[in-house]
Amino acid sequence: MQALQKIQAVARSIPSGDHGFAVSLMEHLIVPTFVIGADGNVLIWNKACERLTGFAADEVIGKNEHWRAFYDTPRPCLSDLLLQRRFNDIRAMYEGGGGYGLSDFGVSAEDWCVMPRVGERLCLAIDAGPIYDTAGELMAVVQTLRDVTAQKRAQINLEALAIRDGLTGLANRRYFDVKFGEETRRAARDQLPLSLLMIDVDYFKLYNDTQGHQRGDECLRAIAERISQTLWRETDFAARYGGEEFAVVMPNTPLSGAMLIAERLRTAVEELHIDHAASLAAHCVTLSIGGVVGRGRDLEAEQLIASADAALYCAKRNGRNRAVVTKFEDARIMAAGAA
Cα(190)–Cα(179) distance, integer angstroms? 16
The CB density around residue 47, as the number of other CB atoms within 10 Å, is: 16
Task: Select from 158, 313, 169, 309 the least CA-distant residue to 239.
Answer: 169
**Is 244 marked active-site?**
yes
Q: How far is CA 276 from the centre of its chain?
A: 38
Catalytic, out of 50, 110, 183, 244: 244
Reduced 3-state DSSP string for the chain: CHHHHHHHHHHHHCCHHHHHHHHHHHHCCCCCEEEEECCCCEEEECHHHHHHHCCCHHHHECCCCHHHHCCCCCCCCHHHHHHCCCHHHHHHHHCCCCCEEEECCEEEEEEEECCCCCCCCEEEEEEEEEEECCCCCEEEEEEEEEECHHHHHHHHHHHHHHHECCCCCCECHHHHHHHHHHHHHHHHHHCCCEEEEEEEECCHHHHHHHHCHHHHHHHHHHHHHHHHHHCCCCCCEEEEEECCEEEEEEECCCHHHHHHHHHHHHHHHHCCCCECCCCCCCCECCEEEEEEEECCCCCCHHHHHHHHHHHHHHHHHCCCCCEEEEEHHHHHHHHHHHC
Cα(197)–Cα(117) distance, integer angstroms? 46
Cα(294)–Cα(251) distance, integer angstroms? 10
Q: Which residues participate in catalysis according to the annotation? A: 244
